[in-house]
Amino acid sequence: MKTNMLSRVADGMFWLNRYMERTDGMLLTLNTFYILSFDKEMNDSQGYRPLLEYYTDLTKNQIIESQYDSNFVLKHIICDNHNINSVKNLVRKARENARGSQDKITKELWEHINSLYHYTNSPELPKRLETYEAVNVITKLKNDLLLYNGILHVTMPRGLGWCFSSIGKNIERCLQTISMTQAYYKPINYNLDGEEDLLYWRRLLLSLSGYEQYLKSYSNISHNRKIAQHVVFNKDFSHSVMYILDIIDKYLGYLCIDNISQEARTLQNQFGRLKSMVRYTDYYNLTNQQLEDVLNDTETQLVQFSTDFSKLFFSYT
C-alpha cells in the first residue's frame, strides 16, 4: 500500500472516526439508561453513573448528585457547551476534521456530518430535552449515528483513509468496552463466581449492542463469568475487546506493510504483545484478580499504543 497521504489528512481521518464512535457509544449508552430509568421496579444502584464517569469531567460529588437526574444528564450529555464530550461538541470536532479531510471522504459522508452538526446546534434542542420529545431526540441522534456508519461502510474507498479511520474508530470502541465493563465488575469486586442476575448485566450488554447475541449464545445461569467471556474474549462479538484488537491489528498491518522503519516494526511488536496478552488469557480458569488486571493493562497499553501510533504517522511531538 503506497503511503501517499499527508499526515494532517490522516490525522483528520483518524480523529473524525474516533469522535463519531465516541458519540455513537455515548448515545447508545444514554438511550439504554434513559429507557430503563422508567422501570421503577428495577433495582438500579448506579443510575447514569457509568455514563457520567466515562464521558464527562464532573467531580465525584457532582456525579453522585446527578446520577438519577434524567433532565440534567440529557442536556449535559447532548448539548452542554461546557462538556467537552457532549454530542454537540463531539460532532463539531468531527466536522472540523472532516473538513480538513474533505478530499478523502465522500460527498455523502460530508453531507451527513454537516446535517448532524446543524441539528445538534438547533436552538430548540435543549428545550425539547425537557419535554416528552426527549426520547425522540435521542432516537433520532442514535439513528443518525447508525446511518453515519452505514454511509461510511458503503461509500468510502478502502485505501489509506479507510485504514486510519478504522484504527481510530476501533481504538475508541475498545476503550469504551473496557470502561463500561469495569463499571459493572468493579462494584462486585470482579467476582466471577457471583450470582448477579441478568437484570444487573442488562445495561452493560445493551450499551454494547450485545444483549440479543448474549441471550442466543449462553444459557440463563451463572452470568458473571459468561459476561466476561462475551465482552472481552468473544471473537464473534463486534464490541468485544478481542474482536476489536483483531481489527486494529489487520489495518495496522496494511499501514506498515511498506514501512520498513524501525519505529514501524517497534509499533507492530508493541501491539502484538498487547493482543497476545488478551488472546492467550485462559478465560475458563480466569480469577477475579486476573480479570481486573487484564482490563486495566489492556486499557493502559492501548492508550500508550494510540499515543505512539499518532507520533509515528501524524508527526506528533
Predicted model pTM? 0.93
Rounded CA Rg of the chain: 20
Q: How many residues does the chain have?
A: 317
- CA separation, residue 65 to residues 29, 72, 126, 195, 218 (Å): 19, 10, 21, 29, 37
Question: Is 167 exposed, middle or buried, given 0-12, 13-18 or 19+ CB atoms closer than 10 A?
Answer: buried
212-221 long-range CB contacts below 8 Å, 24 or more apart? 213/237
Q: Which residues of the chain have pLDDT under 70?
A: 1-4, 40-44, 316-317
pLDDT tens for each residue of 50-62? 999 999 988 999 9
Q: How far is it, in rounded angstroms, from Cα 36 to Cα 203?
A: 8
Which cell is 163 given? 485504514
Q: What is the reported pLDDT for 36?
A: 87
Cα–chain center distance at 21: 6
What phi, psi does 89 have (nearest 5°)? Answer: -75, -35
Which cell is 94 given? 468531527
Q: What is the reported pLDDT for 316?
A: 59
Q: What is the reported pLDDT for 1?
A: 44
pLDDT tens for each residue of 221-231? 789 999 999 99
Are 266 and 256 a contacting pair, CB within 8 Å? no
Q: What is the reported pLDDT for 40?
A: 64
- CA separation, residue 134 to residues 71, 125, 126, 130, 214 (Å): 9, 9, 9, 7, 29
